[in-house]
């Protein structure tokens, strides 16, 4: 397979890079440099395999510029950065990295929920500003334990969030395209609800659906208005699943109490209306950002890429 060329767009872990080099010629970017147009075009022209992150768009133009391309290995679960239809039309396999991100993303979702409910960021600012005294009015938060959690999207990450909620003795509702078998619902301690019911009855709503045209603005002004005024919304799915403009308005008006966001519509830009609000906790798309998880993602992407180049079926094909 050494006659194959792999282009790696972003810096990756050195041990995984060495593993790729044992099987293919690798054009890496360990310096994280922004490549000029000529270098970029030259690399694409040689690429049999392409390893990208969620921040790297793979457009029809890029696919056309890579006539030898056989596989695009995405480092991440979501692959809305890749034109899968254009890849399929060219016979290019697209893969992602499910499974390895589940627990880290679920941890962050729960962390955002706790931080927003207990006003942790506001409290941090309170202490740093020297406003904490025996007479001061401390920020009062919301209980998380024994409350109702609604999970919109009940795949692997949604289920991991539910497992964490069980430790807080929460009532767990879920909404999904496909309902689980009753025995599975009992085993997981969850109950199915239509979206309107989930929104109206949940104290916390976590959105964890894929980003695609069918889920764009799944949570907008109408949906936010159905939620409790004391409710907290968390989005660890994809930017654009929640209408950020509508959310900023809802937070400002007190339609809902608070929010925790790891993803944004048009990121890395963030809607200015959100930036000035004290009742929203903002994170820079770091759901999978632990060393162990990111290493596992890169390993999985390399496994998928090398499988395709060797003529085998990759474990995580998405098209």
Catalytic machinery residues: 238, 267, 285
Which residue in 190, 179, 227, 187 sits closest to 205, CA to CA?
227
Bridge partner list, 151 = 174, 206
Query: What CA–CA distances, in Å, run from 105 to 91, 99, 144, 251, 286?
Result: 32, 11, 19, 24, 8
Contact 308, 71 (CB under 8 A): yes
* CB-CB contact of 173 with 191 (8 Å): yes
CA of 303: how far to CAs of 4, 19, 20, 92, 313, in Å? 15, 10, 9, 16, 11
Pairing of β 190-192 and β 204-207: unpaired
Residue 243 corresponds to which tokens in the numbers above? 């209408």
> Which residues does residue 258 pair with via DSSP β-bridges, in sequence order?
232
Residues 256-284, buried b or exposed e (16+ Cβ, 10 A)?
Answer: bbbbbbbbbbebeebeebbeeeebbbebe
């Amino acid at each position: 397979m050494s006659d194959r060329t792999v282009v790696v767009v972003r810096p990756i872990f050195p041990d995984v890079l060495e593993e790729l080099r044992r099987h293919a010629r690798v054009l890496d970017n360990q310096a994280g440099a922004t490549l000029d147009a000529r270098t970029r075009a030259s690399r694409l022209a040689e690429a049999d395999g392409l390893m990208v992150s969620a921040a790297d768009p793979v457009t029809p133009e890029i696919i056309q510029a890579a006539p030898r391309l056989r596989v695009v290995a995405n480092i991440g679960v979501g692959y809305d950065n890749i034109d899968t239809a254009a890849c399929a039309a060219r016979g290019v396999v697209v893969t992602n990295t499910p499974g390895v991100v589940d627990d880290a993303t679920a941890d962050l979702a729960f962390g955002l929920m706790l931080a927003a409910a207990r006003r942790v960021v506001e409290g941090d600012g309170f202490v740093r500003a020297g406003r904490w005294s025996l007479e001061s009015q401390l920020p009062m938060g919301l209980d998380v334990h024994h409350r109702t959690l609604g999970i919109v999207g009940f795949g692997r990450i949604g289920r991991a969030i539910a497992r964490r909620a069980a430790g807080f003795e929460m009532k767990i509702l879920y909404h999904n395209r496909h309902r689980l078998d009753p025995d599975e619902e009992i085993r997981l301690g969850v109950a199915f609800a239509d979206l309107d019911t989930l929104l109206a009855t949940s104290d916390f709503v976590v959105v964890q659906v894929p980003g695609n045209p069918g889920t764009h603005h799944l949570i907008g002004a109408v949906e936010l208005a159905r939620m409790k005024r004391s409710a907290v919304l968390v989005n660890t799915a994809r930017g654009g699943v929640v209408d950020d403009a509508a959310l900023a308005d809802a937070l400002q008006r007190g339609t809902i109490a608070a929010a925790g966001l790891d993803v944004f519509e048009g990121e890395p830009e963030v809607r200015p209306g959100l930036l000035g609000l004290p009742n929203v906790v903002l994170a820079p798309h770091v759901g999978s950002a632990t060393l162990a998880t990111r290493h596992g993602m890169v390993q999985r992407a390399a496994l998928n890429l090398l499988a395709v180049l060797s003529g085998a079926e990759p474990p995580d094909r998405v098209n």
